[in-house]
Amino acid sequence: MHVRFWGTRGSIATPGKQTARYGGNTSCVEVRGGDGTLIVLDCGTGARGLGLHLAEIALPPRLHLFIGHTHWDHIQGFPFFVPAFMPGAELNVYAPLGFQRGLEEAMAGQMEYSYFPVKLRDLRSRIHFTELDEGFFRVGDVLIETQYLNHTAPTIAYRISSGGASIAYATDHEPFWNASAGRYQHPGDQRHIEFMRDVDLIIHDAQYTEEEYPAKKGWGHSTVEYATDVARAAGARRLALFHHDPGHDDATLDRMEALARDRVGRDLEVFAAAEGLEVDVRGGGANARAKTDVSALVRRPIAGGRVLLVTANVSEVATIQDVLDEEDLVLVPVPDAGSALARGADVMPDLAIIDAKLPDGDGATLVAQLRARVGRSMLPVVLLTDVADGVRGTLDGTGEADDVLAKPFSPPMLHARVRAWLARALAAEDRRQEPVLTSLAPLNSETLRSVPVFREMKRDELEALLAQAGERQFPPGHVLIAEGEIPEHVFVIISGRVRVIEAMPDAQTEVVLGELGPGEIVGELGILTERPRSATVVVLERTRCLALRRFHFLQALERSPALALGLAKLLARRLYDSDRRIARYAPDALTGLASRRAFLDLYRRIAASARRRKSGLFLVLLDVHHLNAINDRFGYAVGDDVLRAVADALMEATRATDLVARYGADEFVVLLQDAGSREGHLVTPRFGEKLSELVARRGLNVPIKCRVGTAYRELPPDSSDELLREADEDMRRRGVTLPA
C-alpha cells in the first residue's frame, strides 16, 4: 500500500512558518490499496490539498472516505473537497454513529447556510453514507476492520489490509489507564494493542507529552510515550506520530520524535508524520483474514437497552442518568450489592456499571456474582474506581470487569464506552443465536427457567407449560402481531429480536415503542385486557419463540402463583419504563400541546415520511409579542391565560394531521403536512380570526399580539433547524403581527 499525509495536525489548523515542516492542516491521509482502491482517512483541512491533487490527475470512479468521528477537525475539509463537486464522482463516506445525530446529518450540519454557501444536497457527486459499528468489511480487495477508541465521542480505529500489508489508523484515543511497571494492564489497552497486532504501519494519536497530559486528561488524546509503548507491544514495524497539538511548533515535534526514538531503540521505526510525506507499506504477502466474524456494516440500535447502575453516590446516578437519557436507555439504579443481586434477575440488564466501593462490599467481587445471578457469563460490566490496584480485567470478559473507568469520570467518555459495550454485547448475542437457530436444540424446563418470568416456577409446572406450548421460528420482516387483531397467542422470545410499532394515522407515520429480545413476552396484554392488539410487532432478525394459546396461558396463570408473580414483575418494569418515557415526552403542562422535545422527535419521522411521499412541509413559527410585559403588568395568571388562548386558537385553526407544539416560553410552532406554500399561508389569517374570537369569548382584556414567520420545503430537511431558522428570519423580515 502507498500512504501520503495531507494533514497531520489535531484540534485546529495552525498554518504558519512555525509549522511549515510538519504542516498545519488537520487530519487527512491518503491510502492506495494494492488493487488501486483509494481510501481517505479523515477529512480535515488537509482534504482540500488532496482534492485539488485528485482533480489534476485521473480521478478514480469511487473514493472511500473513512471518518474516525465527526468532531470538526476531522470533517471540516469536506466542504472544500473538490471531488465532492464533480459530476460522475462517487464518494462513499463511512463513520461511527455519533451522539444524537446521524452521519449524514453531522456532515450536512457544517454546510448549512449559516456556516457555508453550498449545502450538502447541492453537491454534484454521488455521495453514500454508511454508519459503522465494530467488525469488518471489504472495499475492493481491501479488508477494513474497525474497533472503538477511548474518546469523548464514539470514535473508530481502522485496520486496513491489502496485498499482504497492513496499516492501523488510531486517532483520537486516550489511554484507558496509566502504565504499571511499564505495562498497560487495563483490558481496554489490551484490546487496543491486539487490534494493532503485527501491523506494518501504525498512524497513532501522539498529541501530548507525559508532562502535558495531566492537564489534558479526559480530552481524548494520547501521549507520545503511550503511542510508542503500545506500538512496540503490538509488534508493529513502523509508527507515525500523528494528530500534532496545535501548540507544538516544528522544533517541539523534532524533540518529541527524538524522545520516541530513544524510548524504543531499534525495536521500532518511529517518525513524526509530516504533510507531503509519502510511505510505501509492504508486508509479508499473506492474504489478510478478519480477526472477527462480525460485520461492521450492521447497525445495532441500542435504544431501549437496560443498564444496571450499582452505586450509593446520588450525584453519580444523576450524571449517568443524563448521559443515558440521550440514547433512550433505561437506567435502573440500586445502592448496593445486595440490591443488585436481588433485582438483577428481574431487570435482566444489557450492561452493568458498578462502583468499586459499595456500602456492603467490594464492587469487583460483585461482577461474577451478578453474572451468575442473571445467567449471562458475558454480561458487559464497567467498574468505576479510584484505584486500579487489585482490579483485574481480561479480554475474555469472564470473572472480571470488562472495563475500568477512573473517578471522577468524564461523562462524554462514559457515554462513548456505554455505546461501545452495548454494541459489542448485541454483536455477541448475534453470534450466539446463530447456532441455536440452525441446530434447533430442543426446549426443556431448564431453557424456560432462563426466562425471568418463568424463573421461580417448579419443574412440573414448567413441563406442563411446555407440553401445551408450540415452538415457532420467524424470519426477519415477519409480522408477529398485527395491530387491531384479536389476540390468540402469547409469544415468549427464546432468541432473536422484535420491534414494537404503533401507527399514527393522523401523522401518516409510525412510532417505534421499543425492541424486545430473549426472555421477553409479547402479546400478553391483549389477552389479559381482552382487547384487540394495540401495536404491531415485527421480527428484526430470525427469532425463535414459544407460543402459548390464550386458554393455556390463562390456565397456567391460575395454577402457578410463581408465574403470576413473575408476570407482575415484568409488567411493573415495563410500567416503570413507560412512566419515564411519558415524563420525557409529556405534553406541555400549561397548554396541553406537544412539548419541544416531542416536536423535535416527531419532526424527523414526519419529514422522512414527507420525503418518501414527495410531499412538502410548511412550518409556522409564532411568538407572543411582549409576553414579559403582560406578566409584569397583569400578573402571571393572566399571562398563562394568554398562552392558553394562543394554543387553543392554533388548534382550532389547524387540521388534525398537523403538529402543533409549544417550542419555548412564548414560542409556538405548527408543522403542516401535505401543504404547499399557498395552503400554508391560509393558516395565519385563520389563526388571527380564531384568536380574536377566543379573546372576546373569554373576556381577556389584554392586548395580545403575535409575530409570525413561515418556511416551506418540497423536500424537508432531516433536522427542523433549517426550517425554524428560515421561519425566524421571515418573522424578523416581515414583522407580521396577529390579530391585525
Residue 386: CB atoms within 10 Å:
10
Q: Is the pLDDT at 435 greater than 70, yes or no? A: no
Residue 581: CB atoms within 10 Å:
14
CA distance 556 to 197: 55
Per CATH, the number for 2-276 is 3.60.15.10
More confident residue, 472 or 250: 250
Q: Do domains 2-276 and 445-585 have the same CATH topology?
A: no
CA distance 154 to 193: 19
pLDDT of residue 288: 66
pLDDT of residue 214: 92
Q: Is the pLDDT at 137 greater than 50, yes or no? A: yes
pLDDT of residue 583: 62
What CATH architecture is 445-585?
A: Sandwich (2.60)
CA distance 40 to 169: 11
CA distance 229 to 193: 10
pLDDT of residue 398: 33
Q: Is the pLDDT at 582 greater than 80, yes or no? A: no
DSSP for 497-565 reads EEEEEEEETTTTEEEEEEEE-TT-EESHHHHHHT---SSEEEEEEEEEEEEEEHHHHHHHHHH-HHHHH
Mean pLDDT of 364-378: 88
User: Distance between terminal CA atoms of the chain?
Assistant: 70
Q: Is the pLDDT at 438 greater than 60, yes or no? A: no
Choose which CATH entry (3.40.50.300, 3.20.20.30, 3.30.70.580, 3.40.50.2300) describes domain 306-433. 3.40.50.2300
Mean pLDDT of 499-507: 65
When pLDDT is cut at 50, 70 and 90, the band that residue 24 belongs to is very high
Least confident of 83-87, 203-207, 231-235: 83-87
Q: What is the DSSP letter of 223?
A: B
CA distance 649 to 654: 9
pLDDT of residue 101: 64
pLDDT of residue 55: 87
CA distance 231 to 239: 7
CA angle, 422 then 426 then 428, to 5°:
115
Per residue in 196-232, pLDDT (tens digit) is: 999 999 999 999 999 999 999 989 999 999 999 999 9
Distances (CA, A) of 595 to 551, 582, 586, 666, 719: 43, 11, 7, 13, 17
Q: In what order do the strands lie in the sheet with 306-310?
A: 330-334, 306-310, 351-355, 381-385, 403-406
Any idea which residue has 418556511 for its cell?
A: 711
pLDDT of residue 167: 97
When pLDDT is cut at 50, 70 and 90, the band that residue 377 belongs to is confident
Q: Class of 596-738 per CATH?
A: alpha beta
Q: Is the pLDDT at 607 greater than 80, yes or no? A: yes
Domains of the chain by residue range: 2-276, 306-433, 445-585, 596-738
Q: Is the pLDDT at 557 greater than 60, yes or no? A: yes
When pLDDT is cut at 50, 70 and 90, the band that residue 740 belongs to is low
The mean pLDDT of the chain is 85
48 three-state secondary structure? helix
More confident residue, 461 or 289: 461
